[in-house]
Structure 1
Amino acid sequence: MKKAFLFLASGFEETEAIGTVDVLRRGSVEVTLVSLTGNKMVEGAHGIEVASDALFEEVDYKDADVLVLPGGMPGTNNLNAHEGLKTLLTRQYEAGKYVAAICAAPIVLGGLGLLKGKKATVYPGFEAQLTGAEVSSDAAVKDGNVITGHGPGLVYQFGLTILEALRGKEVAEETAAGLLL
């Protein structure tokens, strides 16, 4: 079974986190919600608390097929401040495995230099922080081992793009049909 790890930092965008997890689990991807806060309960940008499955330090990421960053503010800034996460993202990318980010979170990938020469999308107003990227306004973009999503209302397209990368077009189409998309 394919494995995904989605990271929760204080102030994450709830819709992007839960929507992505939902799509991936419907498509038979094992998803682990990982807290970067030191607590299993993490509060989102709109005051909704979500229970993570594990704390960052407790997880072995060697079998990760994709690492996923939801956006939101100040969640994106909190992701960007976590040095362990940034090291993990760089290793994942350099190993040729998938990294994915939606909304403002692609700026974390941009700051690490992972978007150089890649097509990527981001929430409007953050384009300048996608260092070296060819900026797109598409709902979701896959370029090599990088997947980016435009924003919260497009979370299903983002999740389905990740699902297609991991499990193939047929599984993504079946999942989309089950969601009435």
Structure 2
Amino acid sequence: MNKSYLFLAPGFEEIEALATIDVMRRAGMDVTTVAITTDDSQTVTGAHGVTVKADIMPGDEDMSVAEWLICPGGMPGASNLAASSEVTALLKAQAARGGKIAAICASPALVLEPLGILDGRDATCYPGMEPTNSKANMTRERVVALDTIITGNGPASTFPFALAIVSNSCGKEAADKVAAGMLFC
């Protein structure tokens, strides 16, 4: 299992980022946070004022062989991810090689959809963020888990979203074990 990377841009949704990291690490997955900032700081403040020090900056590690690239939502976090040429280049390359990508809340609509990553696929996003004229089939599901793309619709869907990532990488039994340990019903 390769390392996974979760992007943190100013205004990220804290629950979606931190709970996803926690669930993945409980399953033994190697997930690293990446600061996407304009001031080259590893310190990133979320949409609700929670400040986090990311593990690395872009360029610190080779992310071209990542198992997962993960985009939490939040505003303006999702917009900041979409505006990052580093993030969009990594996502396009990951999609081109058939690599795994997960996005939740506003990020499926604002980050993945404009890059064409969701074209012809079922996906979900935060209600009301659905792009017009999308080539994706945007549903109202909480989580849509495909072979290489997982999307979630918002903060309350973070646990099923993160467990879908674990199930995809480690198997359903591992995801069920993590869920049981957290008393997730």
Residue of structure 2 in register with 1:53 after alignment: 55
Structure 1, unaligned runs of 5 or more: none
1:162 aligns with 2:165: yes
- Report the Cα distance in structure 1 between the residues aligned to 2:134 and 2:162, rounded to whole angstroms: 24
Note if contact 2:12-2:72 (Cα within 8 Å) is conserved in structure 1: yes
Note if contact 1:10-1:75 (Cα within 8 Å) is conserved in structure 2: yes
- Report the Cα distance in structure 1 between the residues aligned to 2:106 and 2:133, rounded to whole angstroms: 10
Note if contact 2:64-2:90 (Cα within 8 Å) is conserved in structure 1: no
Note if contact 2:147-2:168 (Cα within 8 Å) is conserved in structure 1: no
What amino acid does structure 1 have at the position aligned with 2:97? A
Residue of structure 2 in register with 1:82 after alignment: 84
Decide whether aligned partners of structure 1 residues 35 and 149 sit closer, same or farther in structure 2, where only a CA change above 3 A counts: same
Q: CA deviation at 1:63?
A: 2.9
Structure 2, unaligned runs of 5 or more: none
Decide whether aligned partners of structure 1 residues 172 and 130 sit closer, same or farther in structure 2, where only a CA change above 3 A counts: farther
RMSD: 1.2
Q: Deviations over 1:36-90 (max 9, x none)?
A: 1121110000111011000112121133100000000000110000011101101
- Report the Cα distance in structure 1 between the residues aligned to 2:155 and 2:127, rounded to whole angstroms: 12
Note if contact 2:167-2:175 (Cα within 8 Å) is conserved in structure 1: yes
Residue of structure 1 in register with 2:127 after alignment: 124
Q: Where in structure 1 do 4 or more consecutive aligned residues deviate above 6 Å?
A: none
Residue of structure 1 in register with 2:97 after alignment: 95
What amino acid does structure 1 have at the position aligned with 2:80? N
Identical positions, percent: 44
Decide whether aligned partners of structure 1 residues 129 and 91 sit closer, same or farther in structure 2, where only a CA change above 3 A counts: farther
Residue of structure 2 in register with 1:109 after alignment: 112
Residue of structure 1 in register with 2:69 after alignment: 67
Decide whether aligned partners of structure 1 residues 51 and 102 sit closer, same or farther in structure 2, where only a CA change above 3 A counts: same
Q: Deviations over 1:126-151 (max 9, x none)?
A: 11258211111111111231110010
Residue of structure 1 in register with 2:14 after alignment: 14
Note if contact 1:113-1:131 (Cα within 8 Å) is conserved in structure 2: no
Residue of structure 1 in register with 2:46 after alignment: 44
Q: After the TM superposition, which of the residue ranges 55-64 and 143-152 deviates more from structure 2?
A: 55-64
Q: After the TM superposition, which of the residue ranges 9-18 and 59-68 deviates more from structure 2?
A: 59-68
Q: CA deviation at 1:19?
A: 0.6
Of 151, 156, 172, the residue aligned with 2:154 is 151
Query: How many correspondences in the alignment?
Result: 181
Q: Helix, strand or coil for the counterpart of 1:58?
A: coil
